[in-house]
Amino acid sequence: MNYKIVAIGGGSGLSTLLRGLKKYPFDITAVVAVSDDGGSSGKLRTELGVLPPGDIRNCLVALSEEESLMAKLFQYRFPKKGSLSNHSFGNLFLTALSEVSGGFDKAIANAGDVLAIKGKVLPVSLENVSLKATLIDGKQIKGESRISKSKNAIKQVEIYPKNAKVSGKVADSIMQADFIILGPGSLYTSVIVNLLFDGVIAALKKTKAKKIYICNIMTQIGETANFNLTDHIAAIEQHSYKGILDAVLVNAGKIAAPVAKRYAREFSLPVEIDTNRYKNVKIIRKDFVSHTQYAHHDFEKLAKTIFSLIGEDKRK
């Protein structure tokens, strides 16, 4: 049986997760944030009025045969000079295909066919939205790229226009899912932002799907400085509803000393596991860290744990 999985997020975290999930018997739908306003995506969004294609491109490639010529072509980035400076071929392809196909959602579907992906990739909304954050000191910052660089703690985030609606296909996928996965990724700008669209919370409340959150391995300056696990869960509940999560995956593996020291210089520390307030949430502590120069999730470890977790749930 192919279990229906809806993975919600953005940034590099979601595409990392998808690389592992595609190796298991899952019917995968990736729901991708659309508030990015930096880099190549931001330029195309400003100049041509398209939805930001970068995170969507990464998810398409993650669900494809990544060694294929087309996948490599999608990730090709032009040199940092000239009119195409810093643009990736995949971003330009999706932008052009949006015009030819008659819509960004159709462009994504057609690109998925070109890459022969396993699953579907959907933007959380087809509306042009921006992100706004209110900081602890009361200051407000507009724009995802500026929010992620903030030095002060975030009190709340919201999208504008506030009444932007979730894509109908996304709402349907949530309703039909067996399991929904939030993260990994930047807590506010990649995960929580997806919960702010009109219709998302309603669908999450109605669906019978179990909901799993993958907590970040490290704190992130500008978003989650000094956050422990409890703080992550509380922020998600604040922007959705109490009891939204059934399970949380959190890293208990050791980070190599040189890597930890490098992150510490940027005031990024391992997320402390503190679960006292959430007795009804199943906390799964395992070694999820990749053995690279970065404190990132290992997609194979994540996918294996999720597959086991789903199997346990279905046997009950």
Name the residue ranges covered by the structural domains of the chain.
3-34+163-315, 37-123
Looking at residue 276, its pLDDT comes to 64
Looking at residue 72, its pLDDT comes to 93
CATH 1.10.600.10 fits 3-34+163-315, yes or no: no
Burial label for 297, CB within 10 Å (0-12, 13-18, 19+), is: buried
Rounded CA gap, 158 and 191, in Å?
12
Residue 5: both structure tokens together: 């999985």
Looking at residue 1, its pLDDT comes to 66
Rounded CA gap, 147 and 42, in Å?
14
Instruction: Specify whether the backbone of 103 is left (phi greater than 0), alpha (psi in -120 to 50) or beta.
Output: left
Residues in the chain: 316
Looking at residue 303, its pLDDT comes to 97
The total of other beta-carbon atoms located within 10 Å of residue 131's CB is: 26
Residue 75: both structure tokens together: 């990730």
Residue type, 35: S
Nearest-10 crossing angle of helices 89-101, 39-48: 30
Looking at residue 237, its pLDDT comes to 97
Looking at residue 68, its pLDDT comes to 87
- How far CA 279 is from CA of 31, 210, 296, in Å, comes to 28, 16, 27
What does each of the 316 residues of the chain score in pLDDT, given as a tens digit? Answer: 689 999 999 989 999 999 999 999 999 999 999 999 888 888 888 888 889 999 999 999 999 988 789 899 999 999 877 778 778 999 999 999 999 999 999 999 999 999 999 999 999 999 999 999 999 889 999 999 888 888 788 999 999 999 999 999 999 999 999 999 999 999 999 999 999 999 999 999 999 999 999 999 999 988 999 999 999 999 999 999 999 999 999 999 999 999 999 999 999 999 999 866 777 899 999 999 998 999 999 999 999 999 999 988 777 6
Rounded CA gap, 122 and 27, in Å?
14
| Contact partners, residue 164, CB within 8 Å, separation at least 6 | 125, 127, 129, 197, 198
- Give yes or no for a contact between 79 and 87, defined as CB atoms under 8 angstroms apart: no
